[in-house]
Structure 1
């Protein structure tokens, strides 16, 4: 059985240190096959926040891929946001949007953040044609019969959680990903876990969201998802700090 830990919205700068230590202890004791981080490593994209996030991820000593979240773009510096939005990622540059393959499971990145949008709330999701094309090309390169998981920050469509993503282009992207053969889209942003099946014609794709390891909790306590893959089937289990695990 393949075991993947899906964690999101760690928000260094507003992190929950007890939750981070709890997660690190589980990683050390259980040694998952890989870690998937679906964005918002930081609170305000400050250099010291990225430094702390990089040190923490390296200490976990597992294969990892990291998506960019809306909080990971410069917040107070519009020039940096426009021209050098990822400069402060140096510590974790090799982890950013890295495809992963683990024994028949492929993780393909999809960027859903945008430096600018034609709306007031830039925290919401956006899937551009160019980013979708990159992800579809990545899926096309995956060997046949592998399980394909797409990793993004924003849910592509909203699933009834307390927070919303309102991802522009998300519905069309979800249809395209399902038709291309993706089995699930992993995301964060809303700080609560979910696993929802979405039908696209005669195909289905699952939308899987992870909770948070920060102080910015919503309806759920600090948590992460464990994705258990056995043959061609997989299940999502929410691992909740101070509470029993449960299927999502």
Structure 2
């Protein structure tokens, strides 16, 4: 059996230290095969927030893949936001949008953020054709019998949570991922967990969202998802801090 811990929206700068310590203890005690973080490591993309996030992730001592969230691009330095928006991730480059291969399973990243968009709210999701093509290309290179989980920051379509993603290109991406054989898309952003099955003309694909380990709670206490894969079956347990 393969076990993954899926967490999101850590928001260093507004982190919940107790929740982070709880998650780290779970990792240390249970040794999951990998940790998937689906974006928003920081609150305002400050250098000190990235430094704290980097040290915490390294302390987990497990394979980690990290998605880029909308909060992880500079808020106050607009030149950097538009010219080198992901520069502050450089010190943890080996973790960022990393494809993780495990026996019979691959975790493949899908980029859903942009420094700017042709709408007022730049925090919402967008899947460009280039980003989708990169993900599909990675999937095509995998063994045909591998279960594929796609990791993204934004839910690709709305999931009924209080928070919204309003992801442009999300429906197109979800159809393409279903056609390519992805089992599920892991995401965050909305700060509440969900697990729903989306059907389209290419079949069914699950959308699995993690809550938050920050102080920015919505309707759920600090939580993360435990994913268990055995005999081609994916089971999800939402683990909520007591």
| Interval of TM-score (by shorter of Structure 1 and Structure 2) | over 0.9
How much has 1:91 moved relative to structure 2? 2.3
State the TM-score, normalizing by the size of structure 1: 0.96
Larger mean Cα displacement after TM superposition, 83-92 or 5-14: 83-92
Aligned to 2:89: 89
Aligned to 1:34: 34
1: CA distance, partners of 2:98 / 2:76: 27
Aligned to 1:230: 230
CA change 1:47–1:146 in 2 (3 A) is same
Displaced runs of 4 or more, over 4 A:
none
8 Å contact from structure 2 (residues 175, 201) kept in 1: no
Aligned to 1:4: 4
1: CA distance, partners of 2:202 / 2:22: 41
State the TM-score, normalizing by the size of structure 2: 0.99
How much has 1:214 moved relative to structure 2? 0.1
Is 2:162 the partner of 1:184?
no
8 Å contact from structure 2 (residues 66, 97) kept in 1: yes
Query: In the TM superposition, what are the counterparts of 1:90-105 in structure 2 within 5 Å?
Result: 90-105=90-105
Aligned to 1:134: 134
How much has 1:92 moved relative to structure 2? 1.0
2: CA distance, partners of 1:163 / 1:153: 13
SS in 2 for 1:36: strand
Aligned to 2:162: 162
1: CA distance, partners of 2:133 / 2:144: 19
Structure 2 unaligned segments of length 5 or more: list them. none
Is 2:199 the partner of 1:221?
no
Aligned to 1:20: 20
Aligned to 1:246: none
CA change 1:65–1:158 in 2 (3 A) is same
Aligned to 2:65: 65
1: CA distance, partners of 2:146 / 2:178: 14
How much has 1:232 moved relative to structure 2? 0.5
Aligned length: 242
Aligned to 2:195: 195
Is 2:63 the partner of 1:45?
no
Aligned to 1:74: 74
How much has 1:202 moved relative to structure 2? 5.3
SS in 1 for 2:55: helix
2: CA distance, partners of 1:131 / 1:102: 23
8 Å contact from structure 2 (residues 179, 202) kept in 1: no
Deviations 1:161-196 (A, max 9, x none): 000000000011100010011110000000000010
Structure 1 unaligned segments of length 5 or more: list them. 243-248
How much has 1:93 moved relative to structure 2? 1.1
SS in 2 for 1:95: coil
2: CA distance, partners of 1:49 / 1:150: 26
